[in-house]
Amino acid sequence: MNSKPKQHNRAKKPASARPISNGAGQTLYEKIWDAHVVREAAGEPTILYIDLHLIHEVTTPQAFTGLRNRKLPVRRTDLTIATMDHSVPSANRKKLPWPDVMAQKQVEMLDANCKKHGITLYDLGSKHQGIVHIIGPELGLTQPGKTIVCGDSHTSTHGAFGALAFGIGTSEVEHVFATQCLLQNKTKTMAITVNGTLPKGVFSKDIILRIINEIGIGGGTGYTFEYRGSAIRALSMEARMTICNMSIEAGARAGMVAPDQTTVDYLEKRVKFASAEERERVKASWLKWKSDEGAMFDKEVIIDADTIEPMVTWGTNPGMSVGITQKIPKAESEDVKKALEYMGLQGGQKMAGQPIQFVFIGSCTNSRIEDLRIASKIMNGKKIAKGVTAYVVPGSQEVKSEAESEGLDKVFLSAGCEWREPGCSMCIGMNGDLVPSGKYCASTSNRNFIGRQGRGARTLLMSPAMAAVAAIEGTVGDARKFV
């Protein structure tokens, strides 16, 4: 069967969408919701308790100021964890002042606010510093059944553990500081079932790009996704995180995968238990977080993993993607025309062979150890193409040191890549890691929005394997030929 992703993505209703309506039992989402209701009343939003509040430098300063104006403390400092990731330089960061003095001031403000309120902060000197969505799972803080929020839309990442995790704005950050709760209305639920087996050279990034392509970037608005099916079950925790991470790119509030033995194995090493008995009790409690047989979802989308090809985006949102052997759409609609114009691409062309000048392997989507292993395997003994600048930015200090202990840094460095310090880096470009105007960047990040990686920058989203191939070829290639 041939992969036939949609040429464009404005479809509002998934073609395969159908309500599942046998009605018995509850979904995972509903179970977590019910377990966190502090107060429910008709006509009013539910007061939902939050188990874990992750914070970083960019979306908290105004919330701390608001708290000070109200003369309120942070209600649960023990459930609040801070790190620095968005605007921290990925090189020479110990040398002050930073080139961006405002970024430095913002990071210093986080430090001062955490000290003042007694919040644990993994700062640049900490061995746990990293992208907020990488360190939560690493520290064993992300666990099944928890409610997790952060002033960052990619908080959906933590849903990979069967947690209800979603991004919030700064006013809501302040709300959680003050009350450890949020006002919420229930979302609808969408089951996204991925059956079958992923072909060699095709990865979880390709699954999620295909899903977004299929349902559209607004197709998940008002929903919480639950990813399931044999292809999801076969994925590692790292790969599941990549999928849940990009749920927001389809507009969903959250995305989740019910925990199983893979989840337990990952967490067991990372959670501190008081006793062996406690460990067994908690492990068993994790596995109860799953949708009941026959639970009702508002919609279901079914995708066959065997038909997924390595995916690449050609446009200016994550739904504008295409399989590597497919042609991109012709400039028939105004949206496609504008996107192609910005991207400097020709309607009807293939992405294979498209020259690139930059490569970014990093971000909360794809900067975990497994991502780096895949990329380094492809780059091993090779050199990146002439004229290509490649950044490899591990997601956390832990990922960095693990990679270095495996010698992955050496592979990247001798291939001609830059091996950098953990943070969001070129995904958002707040720290000065930017793609110049008009240049193409093969990027493992999550957004190819206009100007996202720098003014005029042209982002091609893809998997770490595909980015590694692009780095050595200097053009977009097919990862299936390299693994």
Partner 1 sequence: MKITQFKNLSSSLMPLHRDDVDTDQIIPARFLTATDKKGFGEHLFMDLRFEEDGVTPKPDFVLNQKQYKNAKILLAHENFGCGSSREHAPWALLGYGFNAVIAISFADIFRNNSAKNGLLVVELPRDVIDMMHADVLKDPKEKATINLEQQTSIWKGKAYNFPINPFVKKCMLEGLDDIGYTMSFADQISVYEKRRDSVNAT
Instruction: State how far the Cα of 177 lies from the Cα of 32, in Å rounded to an integer.
Output: 21
Interface with partner 1 (CB under 8 A), residue from 77, 170, 262, 349: 170
Residue 246 Cβ, how far from partner 1 at the closest point, in Å?
12
Span interacting with partner 1, options 24-32, 96-104, 305-313, 361-369, rule CB under 8 A: 96-104
Token pair, residue 273, equals 């238990």
Of 216 and 323, nearer to partner 1 (C-beta) is 216
Residue 325 Cβ, how far from partner 1 at the closest point, in Å?
26
Burial 137-166 (b: 16+ CB within 10 A, else e): bbbebbbbbbbbbbbbbbbbbbbbbbbbbb
Interface with partner 1 (CB under 8 A), residue from 20, 124, 234, 282: 282
Token pair, residue 78, equals 């023990």
Q: Does 436 bind partner 1 (CB under 8 A)?
A: no
Of 400 and 447, nearer to partner 1 (C-beta) is 447
Residues 109-128: x/- map of binding to partner 1 (CB under 8 A)?
x-------------------
DSSP for 205-231?
Answer: HHHHHHHHHHH-TTTTTTEEEEEESHH
Q: Does 24 bind partner 1 (CB under 8 A)?
A: no
Residues 300-339: x/- map of binding to partner 1 (CB under 8 A)?
-----------------x-----------------x--x-
Q: How many C-beta atoms surround the C-beta of residue 44 within 10 A?
A: 10
Residue 153 Cβ, how far from partner 1 at the closest point, in Å?
4
Q: Does 103 bind partner 1 (CB under 8 A)?
A: yes
Instruction: State how far the Cα of 170 lies from the Cα of 370, in Å rounded to an integer.
Output: 32
Interface with partner 1 (CB under 8 A), residue from 74, 114, 168, 472: 168
Which residues are CB-contacts of 265 (< 8 A; sequence separation ≥ 6)? none
Residues 202-221: x/- map of binding to partner 1 (CB under 8 A)?
---------------xx--x
Residue 143 Cβ, how far from partner 1 at the closest point, in Å?
7
Of 342 and 482, nearer to partner 1 (C-beta) is 342
Look up residue 238 and give its amino acid: E
Using alpha carbons, select from 240, 73, 220, 74 the residue that is nearest to residue 142: 240
Site for partner 1 in 185-204 (CB under 8 A): 185
Residue 374 Cβ, how far from partner 1 at the closest point, in Å?
27
Using alpha carbons, select from 82, 187, 211, 214 the residue that is nearest to residue 135: 82
Residue 456 Cβ, how far from partner 1 at the closest point, in Å?
7
Asked if 367 and 130 touch (Cβ cutoff 8 Å), the reply is: no
Ramachandran sector of residue 203 (left: φ over 0; alpha: ψ -120 to 50; beta: rest): beta
DSSP for 133-198?
Answer: HHHHHHTT---TT-EEEESSGGGGGGGGGT-EEEE--HHHHHHHHHHSEEEE-PPEEEEEEEES-P
Residues 48-87: x/- map of binding to partner 1 (CB under 8 A)?
-x-x------xx-xx--x---xx---------------xx
Which residues are CB-contacts of 304 (< 8 A; sequence separation ≥ 6)? 1, 194, 195, 196
Q: Does 175 bind partner 1 (CB under 8 A)?
A: yes
Instruction: State how far the Cα of 436 lies from the Cα of 441, in Å rounded to an integer.
Output: 9
Paired residues of 80 in beta bridges = 53
Instruction: State how far the Cα of 443 lies from the Cα of 463, in Å rounded to an integer.
Output: 8
Q: In this structure, what DSSP letter does residue 310 have?
A: P
Span interacting with partner 1, options 21-29, 122-130, 257-265, 443-451, rule CB under 8 A: 443-451
Residues 234-253: x/- map of binding to partner 1 (CB under 8 A)?
--------------x--x-x
Q: Does 255 bind partner 1 (CB under 8 A)?
A: no
Size of site (CB under 8 A) for partner 1: 69
Residue with token string 């649960």:
76
Residues in the chain: 483
Residue 185 Cβ, how far from partner 1 at the closest point, in Å?
7
Span interacting with partner 1, options 101-109, 129-137, 255-263, 459-467, rule CB under 8 A: 101-109
Residue 161 Cβ, how far from partner 1 at the closest point, in Å?
13
| Residues in contact with partner 1 by the rule CB under 8 A | 10, 38-39, 43-45, 47, 49, 51, 58-59, 61-62, 65, 69-70, 86-87, 100, 102-103, 105-106, 109, 143, 151-153, 167-172, 174-175, 178-181, 183, 185, 217-218, 221-222, 248, 251, 253, 271-274, 278, 282, 317, 335, 338, 428-430, 437, 447, 449-452, 455-456
